[in-house]
Structure 1
Amino acid sequence: MPIRTRTALLLTLALTAGGLTGCSALAGYEDCEGSEERVRALGALAILDNPPGKATPPRGYEKVDAGCWDDSGDAWVYANRAYAFPGTPEEVLRHYRTAAPRDGWRPGRTRPPAHGETIDLCFTRDVDGTPTVLTVHSLTRESFTSAGDAFPPELATGSGFGIEATADAAGAPTDCEG
């Protein structure tokens, strides 16, 4: 899915940058073996199924996409959803700034959204003892087409967004900064 691809690309970039600064990107390499329980825990997070009113998943993206990938030098577990929302980005931001803390998530970094995005939030919390990051971000035509996916027509109007929980498969600390 585009959300997973976007995160994988960001993780690859961060790990490559770490390797260029003298840190080994392969140090502590883990694979996805044994990650099934963490994947299930992320996929069951209530916040993934708690969008603002009138938000609906685009056709083909009706369910939580959850799994593990280990193609970036480290293994990461993830669970994500995509939503079409007829309202404004401000309504999405307002919703998650309230709903996420109610669900135990702590606000993370605040920075201007990336080019073409109007929604960009990050939260952290432990999920079954594993440090986990929750992001809410705009879904743009570019984010779908760069991953080779067709842009769902439901996202052409309003404020399409994705919500994703990620964690290191081995349980290593992670936060909104990296």
Structure 2
Amino acid sequence: MADAASTSGCEGTGSRVDELKSYGVLGSRPRGTVEPHGFEGLDAGCWEDSGEAQLYAERTYVFPGDKADVTQHYRAAAEREGWTPSPATRRSPEASRSTNLCFTRGEADNAAMLDVYFLTEEILDAEESKAGPEFDTGAGYRVSVTASADGSATSCSD
């Protein structure tokens, strides 16, 4: 943890980003899911906001079926990989159509958070991203694993 705490911002965080990229849940997806144009592949790195550096690895998908199938798939995938659901994720109905999911894993310098959330026009606008035609055929969503660059604990905002 001392190494992580002494890191200035994003400097020297490459191996930790690689660790986030290795989580299998990022590549897990319900049958029929596609990567939309402009969002292909795994996006990973480090960003700094207000002096706090955050590490991330994420994938964006579009699923042509019911949102409940997406939430059901990721609840099971996260459980298989050892993620702990947040209190709000535990309380949400299993068949909820639009539930965002949040899980945590690890402690101290290897703590990580997994979010699965449905994309809205507002989210895409804030990212200055455009929804391609694939978004017209189903529900766009993102699977994101994040961690603090300094190794501090991370938790879901329930």
Q: Letter of the 1:79 partner, please give it.
A: A
Structure 2 residue 68 is the aligned partner of structure 1 residue 80:
no
**1:33 aligned to 2, 11, 15, which one?**
11
* Residue number in structure 1 paired with 2:3: none
Superposed displacement of residue 30, structure 1: 4.6
* Residue number in structure 2 paired with 1:153: 133
Task: Give TM-score scaled by structure 2 length.
Answer: 0.84
Q: Letter of the 2:134 partner, please give it.
A: E
- CA–CA distance in structure 1, aligned partners of residues 112 and 60 of structure 2: 19
**1:174 aligned to 141, 150, 154, which one?**
154
| Pair 1:127–1:57, CA change in 2 (3 A) | farther
Aligned to 2:29, the other structure's residue is in SS state: coil
Superposed displacement of residue 97, structure 1: 1.0
| Runs of 5+ unmatched residues, structure 2 | 1-5
* Residue number in structure 2 paired with 1:141: 121
8 Å CA contact 2:33, 2:63 repeated in 1 = yes
Q: Letter of the 1:45 partner, please give it.
A: Y
8 Å CA contact 1:145, 1:151 repeated in 2 = no
| Runs of 5+ unmatched residues, structure 1 | 1-27
Q: Letter of the 1:133 partner, please give it.
A: M
| Pair 1:41–1:53, CA change in 2 (3 A) | same
- CA–CA distance in structure 2, aligned partners of residues 157 and 143 of structure 1: 18
- CA–CA distance in structure 2, aligned partners of residues 71 and 146 of structure 1: 15
Aligned to 1:162, the other structure's residue is in SS state: strand
* Residue number in structure 1 paired with 2:45: 67
Name which of structure 1's ranges 72-81 and 140-149 shifts more when overlaid on structure 2. Answer: 140-149
Greater RCO, CA 8 A, separation 6+: 2
Once the two structures are superposed, residues 2-45 of structure 1 have per-residue CA deviations (whole angstroms, 9 ceiling, x without a partner) of xxxxxxxxxxxxxxxxxxxxxxxxxx995011100011111121
- Output aligned runs, 1:45-124, within 5 Å: 45-110=23-88, 118-124=98-104
- CA–CA distance in structure 1, aligned partners of residues 144 and 12 of structure 2: 21
Kindly report structure 1 stretches of 4+ aligned residues shifted beyond 6 Å. Answer: none
Task: Give TM-score scaled by structure 1 length.
Answer: 0.75
Identity %: 39
Superposed displacement of residue 96, structure 1: 0.9
Aligned to 1:61, the other structure's residue is in SS state: coil
Aligned to 2:25, the other structure's residue is in SS state: helix
Pairwise CA RMSD of aligned residues? Answer: 2.3
- CA–CA distance in structure 2, aligned partners of residues 54 and 128 of structure 1: 37
| Pair 1:80–1:128, CA change in 2 (3 A) | farther
| Pair 1:51–1:151, CA change in 2 (3 A) | same
Superposed displacement of residue 142, structure 1: 2.0
